[in-house]
């Protein structure tokens, strides 16, 4: 198979993947020689395994951005070539993918992964290879202390906690109950919730963890109610959220329940289920675009992105797709002066305020994320639909 034929075949596959919702794009079968004359942006995503649905949203957003940036690129400039490698949801897979993209494909920068364990493994490899990596998940261990070559367009847990605490304070609540899972998200959430609460004038009257096998949340709610909790914070994901909501309904108590951030489709939080009525949680702007007010910065960009995404893929993008698109746009902006990795890293770090889909990024040498809590939208389920709780003043 000659070089030109392989390139044409790759283009056909990419067009098919963009035009057919849900179709997996094949691994790009290009060699280092075929990548000459192009600037490669790599991506490490879960396209198979448990996180495949989220990974495909991110991949589709990157395909959309690749097309958009190349369409507006001068003919005299090299084209941007997106190379996606499936990590299969494995930590080792993420590490190996970064190594391949940095070495075999000569990528100028890498986007992903979107899974906590994989992001930490990818970060270690990126630091070794001295290649900019923009993660689509932001555990505190990834960003603190700052790693020279690692950035993130996702919201750290601390921002979600800050957004929730602001609302709790605005309602005059002072006594809270905290319940977290034993997994990484829950452990990190518990540490940050417990650490920030005193500074916000909040007293923690219950601070417990539950196992992944837990199905009975009645005792946690009963203890919180008897101790006079004014708000109940649940930091986890998956089915435990619905189980907790059902327990509150069964007890017929009115305590407000706040959840951790929801960035992708969550079936248990949709529809007319009476149990989920009143649940409050932060979400990325792209995921709640229809709720954004006219004075929300970047609202028209978000709507255009969502419209283009839906037209191309037959569904609306989730918050992770917004993180991916922002990562591509930030890297694309940093590539304006050339693809040398050190310069790309430096341009990202000194870019100043950048209006993205997720919010305004103010990346600095001491902050490789740059978002603030108000880039998140706080929503409440009312009548089976999402509604705004309030907006920033």
187-236, pLDDT tens digit by residue? 999 999 999 999 999 999 999 999 988 889 999 999 999 999 999 999 99
Asked whether the predicted pLDDT for residue 295 surpasses 80, the reply is: yes
Question: What CATH number was assigned to the domain covering residues 157-290+375-388?
Answer: 3.40.50.2300
Lowest mean pLDDT among 28-32, 234-238, 299-303: 28-32
Judge whether residue 253 has pLDDT over 50.
yes
Residue with token string 């693809």: 339
d(CA 19, CA 2): 26
Of 40, 21, 19, 22, nearest in space to 31 by CA: 40
pLDDT(31) > 80:
no
Whether residue 59 is predicted with pLDDT greater than 60 in this model: the reply is yes
Which CA distances in Å does 67 have to 15, 131, 312? 10, 23, 11
Q: How many CB atoms lie within 10 A of CB 88?
A: 19
Q: CB of 180 within 8 A of CB of 235?
A: yes
Q: What is the pTM of this model?
A: 0.90
Residue 18 has pLDDT above 50, yes or no: no
Residue given tokens 């056909």 in the structure block: 12
Between 50-54, 139-143, 201-205, the lowest mean confidence (pLDDT) is in: 50-54
For residues 30-42, average pLDDT = 72
For the ranges 192-201, 322-331, 337-346, 381-390, which has the lowest average pLDDT? 381-390
Q: Could you tell me the CA-to-CA distances from 202 to 170, 188, 237 in Å, in that order?
A: 12, 19, 24
The domain spans of the chain are 3-155+305-372, 157-290+375-388
The residue among 293, 308, 284, 291 whose CA lies nearest residue 357 is 284
| Residue 19 pLDDT | 39
In the predicted structure, residue 160 carries a pLDDT above the cut 70: yes
Q: Is the pLDDT of residue 23 over 50?
A: no
Instruction: Evaluate if residue 12 carries a pLDDT over 80.
Output: no
Q: Does position 11 have pLDDT exceeding 60, yes or no?
A: no
The rounded distance, in Å, linking the Cα atoms of 63 and 48 is 17
Tell me if 331 sits within 8 A of 300, measured CB to CB: no
Report the distance separating Cα 327 and Cα 340, nearest Å.
17
In CATH terms, the fold of domain 3-155+305-372 is Rossmann fold (3.40.50)
Average pLDDT over residues 160-174: 97
Residue 3's pLDDT is 47
Looking at residues 359-366, what average pLDDT do you find?
97
In the predicted structure, residue 27 carries a pLDDT above the cut 60: no
Pairing of strands 231-235, 109-111: unpaired
Q: Please state which of the ranges 107-111, 173-177, 380-384 shows the lowest mean pLDDT.
A: 380-384
């Amino acid at each position: 198979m000659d070089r030109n034929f392989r390139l044409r075949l790759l283009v056909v596959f990419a067009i098919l993947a963009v035009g057919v919702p849900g179709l997996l794009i094949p691994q790009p079968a290009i060699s280092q020689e075929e990548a000459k004359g192009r600037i490669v942006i790599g991506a490490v995503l879960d396209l198979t395994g448990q996180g495949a649905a989220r990974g495909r949203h991110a991949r589709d957003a990157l395909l959309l951005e690749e097309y958009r940036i190349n369409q507006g690129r001068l003919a005299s400039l090299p084209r941007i070539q997106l190379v996606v490698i499936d990590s299969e949801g494995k930590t080792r897979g993420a590490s190996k993918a970064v190594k391949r993209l940095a070495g075999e494909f000569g990528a100028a920068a890498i986007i992903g992964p979107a899974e906590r364990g994989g992001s930490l493994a990818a970060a270690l490899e990126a630091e070794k290879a001295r290649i900019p990596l923009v993660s689509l998940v932001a555990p505190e261990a990834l960003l603190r202390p700052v790693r020279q070559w690692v950035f993130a367009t996702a919201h750290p847990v601390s921002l979600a906690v800050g957004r929730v605490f602001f609302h709790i304070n605005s309602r005059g609540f002072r006594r809270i109950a905290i319940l977290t899972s034993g997994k990484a998200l829950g452990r990190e959430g518990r540490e940050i919730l417990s650490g920030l609460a005193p500074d916000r004038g909040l007293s923690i009257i219950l601070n417990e963890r539950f196992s992944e096998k837990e199905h009975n949340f009645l005792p946690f709610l009963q203890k919180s109610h008897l101790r006079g909790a004014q708000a109940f914070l649940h930091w986890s994901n998956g089915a435990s959220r619905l189980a907790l909501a059902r327990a509150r309904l069964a007890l017929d108590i009115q305590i407000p329940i706040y959840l951790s951030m929801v960035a992708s489709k969550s079936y248990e939080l949709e529809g007319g289920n009476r149990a989920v009525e009143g649940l409050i949680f932060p979400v990325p702007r792209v995921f709640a675009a229809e709720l954004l007010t006219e004075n929300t910065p970047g609202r028209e960009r978000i709507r255009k992105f969502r419209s283009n995404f839906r037209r191309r893929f037959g569904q609306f993008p989730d918050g992770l797709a917004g993180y991916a698109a922002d990562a591509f746009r930030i890297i694309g902006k940093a590539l304006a002066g050339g693809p040398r990795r050190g310069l790309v890293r430096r341009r990202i770090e000194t870019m100043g305020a950048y209006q993205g889909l997720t919010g305004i990024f103010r990346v600095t040498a001491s902050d490789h994320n740059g978002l603030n809590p108000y880039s998140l939208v706080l929503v409440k389920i009312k009548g089976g639909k999402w509604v705004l709780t309030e907006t920033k003043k």
